[in-house]
Chain A
Amino acid sequence: DTAVSQTPKYLVTQMGNDKSIKCEQNLGHDTMYWYKQDSKKFLKIMFSYNNKELIINETVPNRFSPKSPDKAHLNLHINSLELGDSAVYFCASSRHRAAGVNEKLFFGSGTQLSVL
């Protein structure tokens, strides 16, 4: 069974469109994340939610809006897509909010977004 699943796997769209990426985890974890991996393979955190509450909001354009309907889901909605948004977006989860000896991230397989 897939622990952290995100859809779609590939997303090709035109500039200016609005799109969403969905993420679901069946691990019973409290905390979920969105990471962006750019063309240089650099992974950077975008958002983190703990029990539906936003706890990390890095410097991300407000065209990106995360939504967590429940603690098992964290969706990413992107308005007015730009060329620079092309990247691989990874969803992840961890059991609890506080990182520590028992924490590790479980990652989804990524969504490759290409903006034309």
Chain B
Amino acid sequence: AQRVTQPEKLLSVFKGAPVELKCNYSYSGSPELFWYVQYSRQRLQLLLRHISRESIKGFTADLNKGETSFHLKKPFAQEEDSAMYYCALSPYTGNQFYFGTGTSLTVIP
């Protein structure tokens, strides 16, 4: 069963516009949610995790347990934000990471 869903395969926004990358999950219990990013010609890396409640490169993500969502947001997109973004889930205890199919974000100058 698909645990992590990213409904948008491709997303284009203009520079300076707000951006939201959607992520929904299905998991009973208390999962940990993450956003990973892969910039062009770079390796996949962690962007942020919900437990840290942090803002990285202007991005934030709020875990909404009622809607089982973990959308990634940034108020003003920059060209360097263009990348592939993966939402991921991990059980709080356990070893698996389940990834969504990814959203390719393009920020248009």
Contact = CB atoms under 8 A, between A and B. Distances in A.
Contacts, number: 61
A50 B88 CA distance: 20
B68 interface: no
Contacts of A44: 99
Given A104-B34, A108-B43, A110-B43, A97 B84 contact: no
Contacts of B52: 101
Interface residues of A, number: 27
Contact of A105 (B42, B84, B91, B97): B97
Contacts of B62: none
Interface of B: 32, 34, 36, 42-46, 49, 51-52, 84, 86, 90-99, 101-102, 104
A48 interface: yes
A109 B43 contact: yes
A100 B99 contact: no
Nearest to B99: A43
B95 A55 contact: yes
A99 B102 contact: no
28 contacts: A33-B97, A35-B99, A40-B101, A42-B102, A45-B97, A48-B96, A55-B95, A56-B96, A97-B95, A99-B32, A99-B91, A99-B92, A99-B94, A99-B95, A99-B96, A100-B32, A100-B93, A101-B32, A101-B51, A104-B34, A104-B46, A105-B44, A105-B46, A105-B97, A107-B44, A109-B43, A110-B43, A110-B44
A72 B52 CA distance: 28
A43 B95 contact: no
Contacts of A48: 95-96
Contacts of B90: 99, 103
Contacts of A97: 95
A98 B94 CA distance: 5
